Amino acid sequence: MRYFRRIVPFVLLTLTALAFAGCGGGGGGGAAPAATQTDTYRFFAGSLHAVDPANPANPLVVDSEAHADEATIVHGTIDAAAKTVTDLHARTVVYVKGGKLYKVSALKGATPAPVQLSSAADVQSIETVAPDLANHNNAQVVFRAVAVAPTPTPTPVPVEPVAIKQASLAAGDASGTSYKMVRVGMSATDTPIPAKEPLSALNDQTGAIIGWLAFEDNANVIKRYDANFQNGKDVIPYKNSVAFVDSTLEGIFMEVDGDLYGYHVATGELRRLTSTATGIYGNTVKDGDHLYVTDGGYNILKVPLGNPTSAETFVPTDGAWAMPFGFTDTKVVYYQGGKMLAKPKVGGEPVILSPAGWGFVGAKGTVVYFNSSKEGIPTAVAVRDDGTVLSETANAYWVGASVSNTYAPAVSSTPQYMVMATGYKTDGTGFGGGALQSFDAATNRLVATLGTIPADVRWIEVYGQIGVDVLGYAWDNNDDDVFFMNLKTPNSLVRMSNTPEVDEWPLPVLDYDWWRWS
């Protein structure tokens, strides 16, 4: 199976939060689908294809030549009054081929065709993409450029070691690697803009990119730059490490030398939220009011969104690892001591949801979804957050979900539809011959039986998808293939690819870390 390289943290910075202090947490973070939805193609790679949801049986070839580092740049509409992003959709796909960048419009109405993006001919890989919801042409792609290595100094001067960073190379270091930026609206003759190794994009209340937090070249300091990576101003020096933790529209959470800091975008104020220097680890969860994250002492911390001043301990360590997974209307779902638990956001005693802690897939409203094993049999489970079992389906797995194209403020992404594969067999054939089904995530109600999984498919999953027209990823003993499905329509499962010994995979619309967008 193909494992995906994650585009670094701020692929959906503008959309992850829209955080406003006191805006209120939400039941599950998703709203009803938008009244209007921009018509777009879905894409899969291997050789790059576009899929028209109205005609999924006939995917269009976009680029049959070898390429790499595909990424999706999204667009949507910010409703400032409602504090939501509506009509979220893929707008542009970018990729690397032969040292050059190419872009493809995802909008229907014209045959999708690649266009060279800037005059860059030294592209090594895409470092990140950042949407601009005020003007999609201003959305940015930061890439690593391969340059000629500088001539070594005859007598090197000892310097403090460069810190461990999210990317492996600092801009302009001795390897000859540098960073450059292009905007989606650039033509093939436009020159890329020199950039820095990015930590996070910064957006204003309209969704426009107004700047970046980035690593200074060969120096242990984080600086704030404008949208052109110019006019850098020091934010914080560091000794050993800096890592992105999470983000809202108002601010950035980062780990600096083991402590959690909050950076306020509008004021430029940086606040130290912990003082233990033990590190920040694992998944993060935002519920509209607070960020939940694990520190190096195995405690789950609770941090107010908006303009935080400190972090409090939400779940104290019991000597074992603790990690937040997701949230329901009133509780936070987390792992600790080998169990999956749900604790009221306002405090109180947790409820055990599962004696086996791993396997969480998603949560919505008051329902939590996870995979488990009952007497050695794989089982897809849905429970209320009070521990009441809603369903246990033997020989089945929750294999993914799709999210709504409209989001409430300041929340981690939550599912609108859950997807289950049934008929799992332990003889090596997996799900082959089983059924694929969709469920309403808020109610655990069956929506549709999407079709029969082909006999040669051992596993299938759905990830990083928006709305009802989605692509799934499947593999057998020889290759990886792509399927289309409409999550509201029975028997809509269509195989997009079936090329022996050739892998194809769907391009996620959202950066895939289950329901975390950061």
Q: 250 phi and psi, to 5 degrees?
A: -80, -30
Provide the residue type at 364 as one letter. Answer: K
Provide the residue type at 350 as one letter. Answer: P
- In angstroms, the CA 458 to CA 481 distance is 11
Q: Provide CB contacts within 8 A for 92, sequence distance 6+.
A: 72, 73, 103, 104, 105, 106, 136, 139, 184
Element (H, E) at 13: helix 13-16
- Please give the biggest Cα pair distance in the chain: 71
- In angstroms, the CA 115 to CA 428 distance is 43
pLDDT at 167: 35
469 near 486, Cβ under 8 Å? yes
- In angstroms, the CA 246 to CA 517 distance is 9
Task: State pTM to two decimals.
Answer: 0.87
pLDDT at 244: 94
Q: Which residues of the chain have pLDDT under 50?
A: 1-34, 148-174, 409, 512-518
Q: Note the Cα 54 to chain centre separation in Å.
A: 27
Q: What is the pLDDT of residues 83-111, one digit of tens each?
A: 678 899 999 999 999 999 999 999 999 99
Pick from 300, 424, 326: nearest CA to 372 = 424
Provide the residue type at 352 as one letter. Answer: I
pLDDT at 55: 96
279 near 290, Cβ under 8 Å? no
Per-residue DSSP letter, 164: B
Pick from 271, 324, 329, 332: nearest CA to 295 = 324
pLDDT at 163: 32
- In angstroms, the CA 251 to CA 254 distance is 10
pLDDT at 511: 61
How big is the chain, counted in residues? Answer: 518
Tokens of 194: 């020199």
pLDDT at 254: 95
pLDDT at 230: 97
- In angstroms, the CA 469 to CA 266 distance is 37
Q: How far is CA 141 from CA 144, 185, 279, in A?
A: 10, 11, 30
Residue entry with tokens 């006191």: 22
- Where b means 16+ CB within 10 Å and e means fewer, 301-330 reads bbbbbbebeebeebbebeeeebbbbbbbbb
Tokens of 377: 């049999």
445 near 417, Cβ under 8 Å? no
Cα atoms found within 13 Å of the Cα of residue 419, Cβ hemisphere only: 34
pLDDT at 84: 77
- In angstroms, the CA 364 to CA 371 distance is 16
Q: Note the Cα 109 to chain centre separation in Å.
A: 28
Pairing mode of beta strands 445-452, 435-440: antiparallel
Tokens of 510: 């959202």
How many Cβ atoms from other residues are within 10 Å of residue 27's Cβ?
19
Q: Helix, strand, or coil here: 136?
A: helix
pLDDT at 49: 96
- In angstroms, the CA 352 to CA 369 distance is 14
- In angstroms, the CA 138 to CA 211 distance is 12
- In angstroms, the CA 273 to CA 246 distance is 14
